[in-house]
Amino acid sequence: MEKSEPQIDLVSSGLWMSETDQGGYYFVGTVRIWLEIRVQKMHSPAGTVGVRWTIDGWKGHHDTLGVCMHQEAGEALWRVEIPHLVSMGWRDGSIGGPNGEQPSAKVWTLWGPDRGSVRCLPWGSPTPAFELALFMKSADTTYWSNNRGRNFRVELTPYGKKMGT
């Protein structure tokens, strides 16, 4: 009997922020992310499930493996956690714009790979996207799921963003 290809689906995802720091004119925190992945038609309990992800439009990427949370009858639920995705926040431009620019009333989005490298994005820039593809490795075969060629996305909204700006 021929084995069918496993089905890999993103079930749910979420963000949380830690290591926050704020003052009257700024807010910055570390964004963490979690993903739950369901694999159906798993032929063997051995294998790994994970995500290949990027925050720079695939100029670079990272692989993060998951942990099996529950498995029965050819179906398994896996959880992937990325404990330090990026640092992001906002800075009120009324006391001076980023990089020595003249003061403005705009709120600038802060973004960086870590707390020591946070920079201001140009005003009006969208927050970069977190894109991912799912994979399962079993024996010598790797199966992929990328949302039918569009990649899965999790929106990284600026936490602590001042209301009304």
- How confident is the model over 58-87, as pLDDT tens digits? 999 999 999 999 988 878 999 999 988 888
Tokens of 22: 């704020």
Residue 37 lies in a domain: yes
Which among 67, 52, 49, 38 is positioned nearest to 136, based on CA atoms? 49
The answer to whether residues 93 and 29 touch, using CB atoms and an 8 Å cutoff, is no
Residue 162 lies in a domain: no
Model confidence over 99-143: pLDDT tens digits?
555 556 566 777 777 777 777 777 677 778 899 999 999 878 899
- Provide CB contacts within 8 A for 8, sequence distance 6+: 37, 38, 39, 49, 134, 135, 136, 143, 144, 145
What pLDDT does 152 receive? 94
Residue 40 lies in a domain: yes
* CATH number, domain containing residue 57: 2.60.40.10
Residue 165 lies in a domain: no
Residue 71 lies in a domain: yes
Q: For the whole model, what pTM was predicted? A: 0.79
Residue 163 lies in a domain: no
Residue 91 lies in a domain: yes
Q: Where in the sequence is the domain holding 117, given as residue range(s)?
A: 7-154
Residue the block writes with tokens 């010598």: 140
Residue 1 lies in a domain: no
Q: Give residue 57's pLDDT band: very low, low, confident or very high (50, 70, 90).
A: confident
What pLDDT does 4 receive? 73
Which among 75, 74, 64 is positioned nearest to 13, based on CA atoms? 64
Q: Based on the structure, what is the number of domains in the chain?
A: 1
